[in-house]
Amino acid sequence: MINKNVFCVGLGKLGLIFSFLLAEKGFKIYGHDVDEGIEIRIKKNIKDDEPKLNDLIKKNKKNFKFIKDYNHAINKTNYCFIILPTPSKKNKEFDNSYIFDCLGKMGEFLKNKNKYLINITSTVNPGSCNNFIKFLENKFNLKHGKEFIITYNPHLIALGSIYNDVLNSDLVILGSDIKEGHKYLMNFYKKIYSKNLNKLRKLKLTEAEVSKIAINSYITMKISFSNLISSISDKEENIDSSVILNTIGFDRRIGHKYLSLGAMFAGPCFPRDNLNFAKFLAKKNLNNSLPKVIDKINDLQFDRYINVYKKNKKFIKSVPKVGICGLSYKDNTPLTTRSPGEKLVNYFKNKNQVFIFDEFVNKTKIKNVKFTENLKELFEKSDIIFICYRHQKFKNLGKFVSKKNKLIIDLWNYIKIPTRTKRLKIIKLGIS
């Protein structure tokens, strides 16, 4: 069954990188997206913020073809990777409508295929893949295991490091209820992970679906636990929470990863997946208090930031001008979804003059605030500055000198303390 032609549906942040990563490995990619502007971006080498993507595209264009015709793509390939968004509905459940729409367009062209592999990469709820199977069987009179095989293979990645995360993932989840599904995926990924096949894990479909949302929810739990430990420093003197977290991380049952001082978890995945997990458990009449508490602790972090601000703003003699170092939810991405920076802007923008330094966000989409060209300008114009994510440029922010009092609130315990601090007060969350 293996051939080097692959159909990729969904050319967003993950889909585009994954497609061209496969192209780099020698696969011929037929890529499709409803946004036909992506084809223009590829042809004209329009710069993207995601590291490695631009170089990938330039080097591997010959192995990529943007295609509108599902029939042509399916005839040319034996594999389809569906990498489409599953946004949250109002009730916090994942919306699978994009995937169903894609399968609806594919169905009529699968009748003459033999075990065509449809690999779902999007994050979905447990039971979703079985619903996709039923949809194709009932609507198009197809047979799972005969004309098509559904597999589930979510990627464990983060925006800003997708290329490295795909190639260096701790594990690759391969979900299938048919042996051939595992076999085909194993053969496929052997071409990508030829030197590290022990990262491939074979599971049933529903086991794989649970695994993906469980991983993300567990990570949010470690982050919220770290922030809970950090909050002890708000009430107790002479505590460095980073020392505590580093110490307990040496217990091999716990580990160090995601156990460190930092701001609230944010972005398009962690908050969404955690809330969806709570909704899924409730629908199954299972206890969902843990993911709900995790989300609650996360929301309370913003109250901490404001309380620290209120407690220390007397250091500034007048109505303070507020500076935000980092508006997106992390560096190397333009997304601001539920980010500390975005929340702080919304809190201050009607009461205080707000300045922002961020090299990654689209500045035209943010209203009622001013962006500075560099950190020095932000420091000079602001009285109180929040460090909202880790970025190398922020580390030495305290080196700037001012004739006025300046307050820096470091949400990440990240910046260096300068030797001269006469007019500078630095608050590091988690350290009393």
Cβ–Cβ < 8 Å for 121, 83: yes
Instruction: Give the C-alpha separation, 54 to 365, whole Å.
Output: 24
Residue in the structure block whose two tokens are 């707000």: 354
Please give the full DSSP string across 18-72, using - where no structure is assigned. Answer: HHHHHHHTT-EEEEE-S-THHHHHHHHT---SSTTHHHHHHHHGGGEEE---HHH
Q: How many CA atoms lie within 13 A of 344 on its CB side?
A: 34
User: The pTM is what?
Assistant: 0.91
Count CB-CB contacts under 10 A for residue 320: 21
Q: Which domains does the chain have, with CATH numbers?
A: 5-203 (3.40.50.720), 238-432 (3.40.50.720)
432 residues of the chain, pLDDT tens digit each? 456 899 999 999 899 999 999 999 999 999 999 998 999 888 887 777 788 889 999 999 999 999 999 999 999 999 999 999 999 998 889 999 999 999 999 999 999 899 999 999 999 999 999 999 999 999 999 999 999 999 999 999 988 889 889 888 889 999 999 999 999 999 888 888 877 778 899 999 999 999 999 999 999 999 999 999 999 999 999 999 999 999 999 999 999 999 999 999 999 999 999 999 999 999 999 999 999 999 999 999 999 999 999 999 999 988 899 999 999 999 888 999 999 999 999 999 989 999 999 999 988 877 778 999 999 999 999 999 999 999 999 999 988 988 899 999 999 999 998 876 788 999 999 998
CA atoms within 13 A on the CB side of 410: 22
Token couple for 114? 């033999």
Closest CA to 90 of 332, 272, 353, 314: 272
CA atoms within 13 A on the CB side of 394: 26
- CB 136, CB 102: distance < 8 Å: no
At residue 275, φ and ψ (nearest 5 deg) are -65, -35
Per the listing, tokens 């500075």 go with 372
